[in-house]
Structure 1
Amino acid sequence: MTANSQTAPAVERPAPALPAKIFITGANGFIGRALAERARELGTEVTGVDLLPDADAGILGGSISDPSEWAAALDGVDAVIHTAAIVSNSAPLDDAWEVNTYSTRKVLAAAAEAGVGRFVHLSSVAAYGFDYPDQVDEKYPVRVNGYSYTDTKVNAEAVVMTAHAAGEIDCTVIRPGDVYGPASKPWVITSLEMIRAGQMVLPNGGRGTFTPVYIDTLVDGILLATASEAGAGQVFNLTDGHGVTCAEYFGRLGDMIDASVRTLPTSLAVALAGAVGTVQRRLGQASELTPATVHMLNRPGEYSIEKARTMLGYAPAISLDEGMRRTQEWAQREGLLTR
């Protein structure tokens, strides 16, 4: 696989009949931008909010912790897709709860007050915790585990489904797998940086499960759920439908920069990540080296997408080979492979 490999034929994507007007929180983020672009291609008017505004794209500047700054933009909106969140294993619990849980409640209330008909909430497969059966499905209980990202995503799902049960607004919860592709910060940009710096150390010989979902595939699934009346009140796992070992996924990234990925026994990897990450953060460096990250890289199995296939017609069509080819070509253009 090289950056000069022949481009594969375009993959036909689903084109659901979307609501006329969609509002996206976190609209300038990795997932938010991709959602907005695809929804506009399908003829939907898209607005949104983000810490970084984009007036030309109808994206207001503001925080989800204070919807009063932008709530007027919800007038006439048919569906809110809520992607804004702190996505970090190192964030303090209070900060993560404030954004991921309490602010989700605030956005829900603002949407309901504006008469929005549908609220689509992006949670995470992290809501299952790091100990679950292989091919776990949406009937399996979510599980807090003492780590801020997992726990606040579990809490936020409860907030969303409580609003749905109370009849405030129709809600759908999406649990994406490991979202990768061009411009993915955690699973491409940061991972490449860590591999190059020799900081990517996988536990358990790299045998933990990585469950990829290519960004376009995830976007298609989210929009299918947004368009589906039957999706109201439902939770959907969205992945590419297969898992690989962490050694394979991160090994592919390492191959892009001619670097290897090391492994350690899990107990040693946990101790090393905890110690090194703590020092880095005390020095003011951004670091996702935490025990939670190590345990996440040692997950025991895959997530079933049968429910999304059956109810939404979700059909992942981009293989890992194709997704990584596209990712490598993008990374080459961005100069990420030659630093």
Structure 2
Amino acid sequence: MTDPEKYAPSLGKVLIVGGCGFLGHHIVDLLVERHPQTRVFVLDLRTNSNRNSSSTVSYHDGDITDLDFLKMLFSELRPDAIIHTAATHFTAVTKEIMDKVNIGGTKNLLEAAKATGVKAFVYTSSASVILSPERELINADETFPLVTGKAQPEYYTTTKAYAETAVLEANQKDSNLLTCAIRPAGIFGEGDVQLLPPIMHAYFNRQTKFQIGNNDNLFDFTYVANVAHGHLLAAQALLHPYKMLPTAPLDSERVDGEAFFITNGQPVYFWDFARAIWHECGDRLPLSQVWHLSEGAAWAIGGLLEGVFFFLGRKPKLSRAQARYSTITKYHSIDKARKRLGYAPILSLDEGIRRGVQQLLSEWDQQKQKKSQ
């Protein structure tokens, strides 16, 4: 996947917060592969899954909302860099918990990092921090303003935006800590529990003959290894800010204090992505047999289902948010990441789909075999 000669063998000591999660464990794996002499620490609420067997990796259970614990751990480990991927689930918790973990936990990590001499801090933000109901995103770049509070319909996204702001404001403030934020869009791949599974379940439930809208909206999806790649480039750039430059970087060259969109650089029509996944699963339904449901009708049906399922204590398979996301245009420019981080996707969208789907199919097959024994 990577050419080890292009990268420093060691980044010193790197702490991956949320390193047992979906994105986090891919960052750990790529870090071990690409920088084999790096000492890797993983901090997560529970570290019993997605573990890397390398002797250079150690695991530590802990809660980022506990500042005293973080200061104690950081004093013991003395990391050079922190990559912070941890966050609450998108919808499964209350606003109070989102605030406590996504915003408060991030501020705790920053305070502990400053107190213990950490050099670099890379934060996993979200491409949706600039998305509003009133505006579609067409090759959107980092100059677009954050959308928060009442203007942002997804409270989770508001907390990610506030946390990103805290990270960027902490850059070289009261310490030598250098910070930046990575904004991935539509992450999918091996170990995915949010994007691939429901799309694949639609195939097995014979629901591929329906689509919302005319499929004329381009959308960004990003293979998880490319997101991990972007994080490691950012960490290396912060740890060695002048390595590639004869003088201090110009504003147009800086990485510290900056946010970067990371995508596959391959925006596709929304339903083409879903159909590529279904095709990998075995679907061969002709497009002529696909039924189109208008956006307005889908919105209305989603609202009705939300109300009914609320009283049943369950979640509907179609919601207003899903209707909206499947019909809006949302793709981003990665020019800034290309120029300042040297970023380019390391795997294509098609290859990412193939790997992600095949891994999940294999996992489901193993689960079926266990149940039948």
Check whether TM > 0.5. yes
In structure 2, the partner of 1:29 is: 21
Contact conserved, 1:90 with 1:287, CA < 8 A, in 2? no
Matches within 5 A, 1:62-211: 62-75=62-75, 76-89=78-91, 91-130=93-132, 131-144=135-148, 145-164=152-171, 166-168=173-175, 169-197=177-205, 203-211=212-220
Within 2, Cα distance between the matches of 1:272 and 1:338?
34
Deviations 1:238-268 (A, max 9, x none): 0011211110111122231539786532233
- Across the two proteins, how many residue pairs are aligned to each other? 330
With over 3 angstroms needed to count, the CA separation of the structure-2 counterparts of 1:194 and 1:326, relative to structure 1, is same
> Per-residue deviation at 1:199?
7.4
Within 1, Cα distance between the matches of 2:318 and 2:109?
31
* TM superposition score normalised by structure 1: 0.86
Within 1, Cα distance between the matches of 2:272 and 2:128?
20
The answer to whether residue 65 in structure 2 is matched with residue 61 in structure 1 is: no
SS at match of 1:205: coil
Long gaps (5+) in structure 1? 1-9
In structure 1, the partner of 2:359 is: 330
Within 2, Cα distance between the matches of 1:321 and 1:241?
12
Contact conserved, 1:177 with 1:238, CA < 8 A, in 2? yes
Contact conserved, 1:206 with 1:246, CA < 8 A, in 2? yes
With over 3 angstroms needed to count, the CA separation of the structure-2 counterparts of 1:287 and 1:237, relative to structure 1, is farther
> Per-residue deviation at 1:68?
2.9
* TM superposition score normalised by structure 2: 0.78
Contact conserved, 2:41 with 2:59, CA < 8 A, in 1? yes
With over 3 angstroms needed to count, the CA separation of the structure-2 counterparts of 1:188 and 1:318, relative to structure 1, is same
Within 2, Cα distance between the matches of 1:308 and 1:14?
21
**One-letter identity of the residue aligned with 1:121:** Y
Contact conserved, 2:71 with 2:115, CA < 8 A, in 1? no
In structure 2, the partner of 1:245 is: 269
With over 3 angstroms needed to count, the CA separation of the structure-2 counterparts of 1:12 and 1:151, relative to structure 1, is same
> Per-residue deviation at 1:90?
5.9
* Larger mean Cα displacement after TM superposition, 216-225 or 250-259: 250-259
In structure 2, the partner of 1:312 is: 341
In structure 2, the partner of 1:16 is: 7
Long gaps (5+) in structure 2? 242-253, 369-373
Within 2, Cα distance between the matches of 1:88 and 1:184?
14
Deviations 1:262-314 (A, max 9, x none): 65322332333344345546545466854334323333242000011111111
Select the residue among 251, 254, 278 that pairs with 2:278. 254
In structure 1, the partner of 2:244 is: none
The answer to whether residue 57 in structure 2 is matched with residue 46 in structure 1 is: no
Contact conserved, 1:91 with 1:148, CA < 8 A, in 2? no
With over 3 angstroms needed to count, the CA separation of the structure-2 counterparts of 1:77 and 1:133, relative to structure 1, is same
Within 2, Cα distance between the matches of 1:61 and 1:178?
28
Deviations 1:143-172 (A, max 9, x none): 121311221111111211222263443210
**One-letter identity of the residue aligned with 1:158:** T
* Larger mean Cα displacement after TM superposition, 206-215 or 21-30: 206-215
User: Which has the greater radius of gyration?
Assistant: 2
Select the residue among 240, 246, 257 that pairs with 1:233. 257
Contact conserved, 1:176 with 1:239, CA < 8 A, in 2? yes
> Per-residue deviation at 1:333?
1.7
